Amino acid sequence: MTASKKILLVLLPLFTLFVGWEIGINQSTVSGIERSGLSQAGSGTVVTGDPAKEVDLSLFWQVWRLLQQRYIAPGDLKLQPMLYGAISGMVRGVGDPFTVFMPPKENKDFHSTLQGTLEGIGAELTVKDGLVTVVSALKGSPAARAGVEAGDVIVKIDGAPIGTIPLDQVVDRIRGPKGTTVALVLMRKGSPAPLTMSIVREKIIVPTVESKILTLPSGQLGYVALNEFGDSSMQEIRTALASFKGKPIKGLILDLRYNGGGYLDGAVELASMFVEKGTIVTVQNRGGALDPHPASGSPLLPTIPLAILINQGTASASEIVAGALQDFHRATIIGMKSFGKGTVQEVIDLPGGSSLRVTIARWLTPNGKNLGKEGVRPDIALERDPGELANGKDSQLQAATDWLLFKKNDAKTASGSSVSSANLGK
């Protein structure tokens, strides 16, 4: 087998209706299948080094040959899709929703996500409790404009129930050329009846960083929204924070809502901008070995009052940042409990343009919390009313301004200090 490229990940590998979230920390070269300790015996038995775990693969080949010999329309047998389907089924059999085989098109779309240019409806999906669930609708996306919300469960696509089909097939049904329409039926907590939405697919350009100075009667605050940890995100963040220097801002709001992850080294770099020292995150590898990732030691704003906004769509790399700064008592966390994604994936590119994304480790906060089990719990818990978005209001952002300007931990503010999404230039 030819050499393949390896990327270590700590992200929430969700499928956006164009691809998925991932988070890489480095690249190196690995050689063939031997690196995993597997070899194939002539009898069809896979040898793992442990006799109790040897598996006879002759059944697979028997079924493969029977299809070639007996299927009514042999000319319709497409061998490459059959092979990809077999591999996908094997990987799904592991039972880990974050360990996934990606055929070439899906792998290509996946890598496009980190570059911020996508096509689809702009919703990010995962499987939760056996149901295809929306984690977030990207800001300004067709899904967001149609009213898709985090926590919605997709039950039908273009009138057809999705049943128990795999997530990648759900994504394939929803994806399509820009300008075309897909009809979704969603179940929403608290809604007495299913919701039906027709959404026109578009080309989506995801802005990784949005920043602004909020000018309020009681003072100025810096605001930075990080939508994903992409290729250029950290440089964009540094540019935004540098623009605040010399300005009379009284604090900074870091908005990580609906941020599903990105590069791990980006998460460490971002947290390092606000702390002098300490371990940002510890990766616990297979076998229990611990790999700490310390702060860089060169913070940009080590003392500025800091509030971080999170919600149920905050996951993986963004949870690393929020969890670390919370453990360091460096920031006040405001919003809703985060998604709770605490494992590390490795993406290995395979011949033909496909890849394998496999869980290889978990990560822990500075205080040793496994956020895959707990998530990040906000210091000030506040759920955003679904109707706020349409009205240009944001109670979570309002609570952050209250905290920074008045050290108040509720959603009420002094007269005249109201903040809306319009104030942020969104």
Structure-token pair, residue 166? 């795999």
Q: How far is residue 260's CA from residue 341's CA, in Å, rounded to a whole number?
A: 9
Kind and range of the H or E run holding 322: helix 317-327
Lateral strand order in the sheet of 39-40: 39-40, 45-47, 55-56
Specify the pLDDT at position 386.
64
Residue with tokens 């205080």: 367
Pairing state between β 290-294 and 279-285: antiparallel
**Which are the contacts of 125, defined by CB distance < 8 A and separation ≥ 6?**
14, 15, 16, 17, 132, 133, 134, 135, 154, 167, 170, 171
Q: Which residues contact 331 (CB under 8 A, 6 or more apart)?
A: 254, 274, 306, 307, 308, 322, 325
Catalytic position from the list 109, 338, 341, 394: 341
Active-site residue (options: 136, 211, 233, 316): 316
Q: CA distances (Å), 230 to each of 123, 277, 293, 426, in order?
A: 17, 24, 19, 20
Q: Which amino acid is at 175?
A: R
Residues of the chain with pLDDT under 50: 1-43, 411-426
Catalytic residue of the set 168, 172, 327, 379:
327
Token readout for 40 is 């194939």
State yes or no: is 341 an active-site residue: yes
Distance of CA 120 to the CA centre of its chain: 16
Please identify which residue in the block is written with the tokens 């591999």: 87
Question: What pairing do the DSSP bridges indicate for beta strands 123-128 and 131-137?
Answer: antiparallel
With a CB cutoff of 8 Å and minimum separation 6, the contacts of 31 are 1, 3
- 321 CA to centre of own chain: 14
Instruction: For the chain, list the domains and their CATH numbers.
Output: 4-99 (no CATH), 117-205 (2.30.42.10), 209-342+362-424 (3.90.226.10)
- Of 138, 174, 141, residue with least CA distance to 155: 174
> 């996908």: which residue's tokens?
88
Identify the burial level of 409 via C-beta atoms within 10 angstroms of its C-beta, where 0-12 means exposed, 13-18 middle and 19 or more buried.
middle
Residue whose tokens read 């056996």: 130
Contact between 41 and 47 under an 8 Å Cβ cutoff? The reply is yes
pTM, two decimals, is 0.72
Inter-CA distances, 187 with 132, 195, 256, 358, Å:
10, 6, 26, 30
Instruction: Note if 316 is an active site residue.
Output: yes
* 12 burial type by CB count under 10 A (0-12 exposed, 13-18 middle, 19+ buried): buried
Closest CA to 3 of 39, 33, 48, 38: 33
CA distance linking residue 252 with residue 401, whole number of Å: 9
Closest CA to 319 of 344, 301, 353, 290: 344
